[in-house]
Structure 1
Amino acid sequence: MTTHSHAGISILRPFVAFGHGLMNWMERIAVANSRIEEIQKLQALSDEELAKRGIEREKIVHHVFADRIGF
């Protein structure tokens, strides 16, 4: 008969979960920042440049977040 002790793992579990949560939060911030930068770059383009890309100025945010919002 073999006995395994997982006491050390159960003590660390909250810290590991916190670390994963923190990393997920930081990743979401990085993605949001990159999307904000994309919006700013597109807003700096002329209407002609946007038209060439098939984007209407009033739909820049929809364009950038289309994969997240489902537009």
Structure 2
Amino acid sequence: MAFYTDTIDFTARPAFSNAIRGFFTRIIAAQNRSIDVERMQDLSDAELAQMGLTRDGIVRHVYRDIYYV
């Protein structure tokens, strides 16, 4: 007995498009954070100290919610 259907299963397509969308979202978020790092690097040591930071802690501070360093 043969089974034939003329419908196409597109269940994989939304998962693929969500993966692509997530990839580009992460790239955009990383670019925005690199701008924050550059902005904080332009601050003086005294301004960083007021924020409770040192120069070597800038990247750790900017990415604190994503990475545990």
Counterpart CA distance in 1 for 2:19 and 2:64 is: 25
Give TM-score scaled by structure 1 length: 0.78
2:15 to 12, 17, 31: 17
The alignment-based identity, stated in percent, is 31
Segments of 5+ residues of structure 2 without an aligned counterpart are none
What is the 5 A alignment of 1:15-54? 15-54=13-52
Between Structure 1 and Structure 2, the one with more helix by share is 1
Counterpart CA distance in 1 for 2:17 and 2:66 is: 25
RMSD of aligned residue pairs (Cα, Å): 1.6
How many corresponding residue pairs?
A: 64
Segments of 5+ residues of structure 1 without an aligned counterpart are none
Q: 1:60 — aligned with what? A: 58
Give TM-score scaled by structure 2 length: 0.79
How far residue 63 of structure 1 moved from its aligned partner, in angstroms, is 0.6
